Amino acid sequence: MNNEEILKLVNNNPDSYVQIIKARDKKFYNTINDRYTGDKFGEKLYQYIYSNTGQCKNCGNKTKFKSFTTGYTEYCSKKCSNIVTSSKRSETVIENNRNNRHVHYETKKCLVCQNDFESLKSRKQKCCSAKCSGIYVSSQPNRIEKIKETKFIRNIKAIKDKRKDLTLLKNKKISLTI
């Protein structure tokens, strides 16, 4: 019996193909039974035809044999199937993020070297690199002055706030002692 004949026979007689093969070709039946391992003749025949012994796609452990038409289950356990599906899921997330990049990123021209660069839309990045940023900042003396100025004002405000807190504390203490 060749593979084609066997497959046809199984297809036409899904419930009784074992008996039919046994009756039609006892020698073949015995050979399959001896050479392959499995709980049932159907499983052994499946291994003979598809040279598939049922190995978990994740860990390589033996998987459950369902039937000749369905074959083996893909994974040995729920755990293994979950590991693979969840890693597939995170791959999809990464892929989606990549496709959605244009939503969050835009291509800008560096003000210093004129090269295109990608930047988050939410960031007001003007240069492609730290090096260019340095050149850009140093070419804008007013800007540096401004930064210094705001920093200075901020510092003074912080000092004032601290003083205010201190006097408040002092007053509190006084009112407590009184």
Structure token digits, residue 66: 């369902």
Q: Name which position in 1, 23, 59, 166 contacts Zn ion (CB under 5 A).
A: 59
State the minimum distance, in angstroms, from the CB of residue 56 to Zn ion: 3
Structure token digits, residue 149: 């100025």
Cα angle for residues 45, 49, 55 (degrees, 5° grid): 85
Residue 128 interacts with Zn ion (CB under 5 A)?
yes
Residue 112 interacts with Zn ion (CB under 5 A)?
yes
Beta carbons of 66 and 72 less than 8 angstroms apart: yes
Whole-angstrom distance, CA of residue 167 vs CA of residue 164:
5
Residue 113 interacts with Zn ion (CB under 5 A)?
yes
Whole-angstrom distance, CA of residue 17 vs CA of residue 76:
27
Beta carbon nearer to Zn ion, 131 or 148: 131
Structure token digits, residue 165: 């807190």
State the minimum distance, in angstroms, from the CB of residue 82 to Zn ion: 10
Residue 108 interacts with Zn ion (CB under 5 A)?
no
State the minimum distance, in angstroms, from the CB of residue 74 to Zn ion: 9
Structure token digits, residue 36: 């392959």
Q: Name which position in 52, 61, 96, 171 contacts Zn ion (CB under 5 A).
A: 61
Q: Name which position in 58, 81, 125, 133 contacts Zn ion (CB under 5 A).
A: 58
Whole-angstrom distance, CA of residue 168 vs CA of residue 170:
5
Instruction: Give the binding-site size for Zn ion (rule: CB under 5 A).
Output: 11
Q: Which residues bind Zn ion (CB under 5 A)?
A: 56, 58-59, 61, 76, 80, 110, 112-113, 128, 132
